Amino acid sequence: MALLFVGALVPFPGSLRVIGILLAIGFGIAVVGTLAYLFFQLYHTRCPHCDQPMATHRGRASFTATCFRCDTTWDLGIGLGRGN
C-alpha cells in the first residue's frame, strides 16, 4: 500500500501520467477496503470461550462485546478509554 501512495505522489511526465492516476485510485481503493474490513471485524466478533457471535456496543469511551450464551461482556480495548 505504501508503494501505491508513493507512486501516486511522483509526477509522471506525459503519457505516464495515467500510471500516476491509476496508482492514486489504487491507493484510495486500498484505504477504503482496509477500513471496511476493520469495520466488519469490529462488529462481527466471536466469543473466545464458546465461539458464538457477540453483539458489539459502542460505549462512551470504548467498544464492548457481549456474549449472550456465556453471559459475559468483553472490553475490546478499542476507543478513547483513559486506561482506568
List of the chain residues with pLDDT < 70: 1-17, 80-84
CB 81, CB 58: distance < 8 Å: no
Note the pLDDT of residue 56: 87
Question: Could you tell me the pTM of the whole model?
Answer: 0.63
Cell of 37: 474490513
Domain boundaries, the chain: 1-43, 46-84
